[in-house]
Amino acid sequence: MEKELEETKPNSKLAQVNLKEEFESSGVDQILSELDDTLIGLKPVKTRIRETASLLLVDKAREKMGLMTESPTLHMSFSGNPGTGKTTVALKIADLLFRLGYVRKGHLVTVTRDDLVGQYIGHTAPKTKEVLKKAMGGVLFIDEAYYLYRPENERDYGQEAIEILLQVMENNRDDLVVVLAGYKDRMDKFFESNPGFRSRIAHHINFPDYSNDELLEIGEIMISDMNYKLNEKSREAFAEYIKLRRKQPHFANARSIRNAIDRIRLRQANRVFKTSKGPINSDVLSIIDEVDVRKSRVFSGGIDS
């Protein structure tokens, strides 16, 4: 009881804090190692998140000792090509900020332009506010944020949504965290023409493309998560597939891998169905064979989605 009273008094000061203890009790460590374990690659992203987490933990400690005057700006921007794990990381960030005590609920609301911008006059403001209210207490993730800004159309309602966003990002900083995401070059242009956003965002995080080896590793995890197995030959074929697929248009990193696996499973099922006679065991049902991979259009010069 006494402790609670202490915490609600805004100007009360503590003489000492134990950072290690705070770190362990907050569960932040658990999320950071989850991030390390479940996400392949993404070294720079993981480092940035670790640094940010320590900064926030120290900020909280400073606040407890009465050294902080203002809450830090937490809005972020994630730039990177499609399928590089931006949405996946945003989910973790929401959880992380919740554990650190920077958002009250820790949920993630994912939107794109269509969820914010209306079709006619007077439609946009309520729509944007509805979304913002839903995200309060958590994180608002705006995918492909640059579509909000259409300079070529003077009467575009996107501008209205931008203005409301900027206002709430500033005035309700304690209520929600906004993460803008999109492709690097277009995000850079977007920030250039919207300095209001740039100045409100403290953390710019860049998501690099995955290497072929990383993609293979990601693919293997996805496959084993679905209770399938590769054998030596099919693994080799899959590695080749990745090399070829990368050179094709619409390559979307880990998402292309997920899509490829879905099609491989389809071919595997077809093969098993056609060739099986009599009872079969679980191995037959779960092993992905070389042919299941090599039948992909990509090997004969075709294009996979």
Partner 1 sequence: MRITQGTFSFLPDFTDQQIHEQVQYCIDNGWAVSIEYTDDPHPRNTYWEMWGHPMFDNPDAAAVVFELNECRKVYGSYYIRIIAFDSSPGWESIRLSFIVNRPSKEPGFRLNRTETKGRNIQYSMSPYSSDNPQGSRYK
Ligand X SMILES: Nc1ncnc2c1ncn2[C@@H]1O[C@H](COP(=O)(O)OP(=O)(O)OP(=O)(O)O)[C@@H](O)[C@H]1O
Does residue 181 come out as left (phi exceeding 0), alpha (psi in the -120 to 50 range) or beta?
beta
Exactly one of 41, 80, 83, 138 binds partner 1 (CB under 8 A); that residue is: 138
Exactly one of 63, 95, 143, 220 binds ligand X (CB under 6 A); that residue is: 143
Residues 76-95 that bind ligand X (CB under 6 A): 80, 82-88
Task: Map residue 104 onto helix, strand or coil.
Answer: coil
- The C-alpha atoms of residue 195 and residue 201 are separated, in whole angstroms, by 10
- Residue 72 structure tokens: 């830090």
Residues 230-259 that bind ligand X (CB under 6 A): 252, 254-255, 258
Contact present, 151 and 41 (Cβ < 8 Å)? no
Beta bridge partners of 140: 109, 178
Does the protein bind partner 1 through residue 134 (CB under 8 A)? Answer: yes
Exactly one of 72, 82, 137, 208 binds partner 1 (CB under 8 A); that residue is: 137
Does the protein bind partner 1 through residue 246 (CB under 8 A)? Answer: no
Q: Of 135 and 216, which CB lies nearer to partner 1 in the complex structure?
A: 135
- Residue 215 structure tokens: 């993609």
Residues with Cβ < 8 Å from 23, sequence gap 6 or more? 29, 57
Residues 57-116 that bind partner 1 (CB under 8 A): 104-105, 107
- The C-alpha atoms of residue 251 and residue 209 are separated, in whole angstroms, by 10
Here's the x/- map for ligand X, 200-229, by CB under 6 A: it reads as ------------------x--x--------
Look at residue 255 and give the partner it binds from ligand X, partner 1, Mg ion, none, a contact being a CB closer than 5 to 8 Å depending on partner kind.
Answer: ligand X
Contact present, 17 and 63 (Cβ < 8 Å)? no
- The C-alpha atoms of residue 297 and residue 245 are separated, in whole angstroms, by 10
In terms of Cα–Cα distance, which of 190, 205, 110 is closest to 146? 190
CB 133, min distance to partner 1, A: 3
Does the protein bind partner 1 through residue 12 (CB under 8 A)? Answer: no
CB 97, min distance to partner 1, A: 13
Look at residue 85 and give the partner it binds from Mg ion, ligand X, partner 1, none, a contact being a CB closer than 5 to 8 Å depending on partner kind.
Answer: ligand X
Measured in whole angstroms, the distance separating CA 255 from the mean position of its chain's CA atoms is 13
Show the DSSP H helices in 113-157 as ranges: 113-116, 124-135
Q: Which residues bind to partner 1, rule: CB under 8 A?
A: 104-105, 107, 126, 129, 132-134, 136-138, 168, 172, 174-176
Q: Which residues bind to ligand X, rule: CB under 6 A?
A: 39-42, 80, 82-88, 143, 218, 221, 252, 254-255, 258
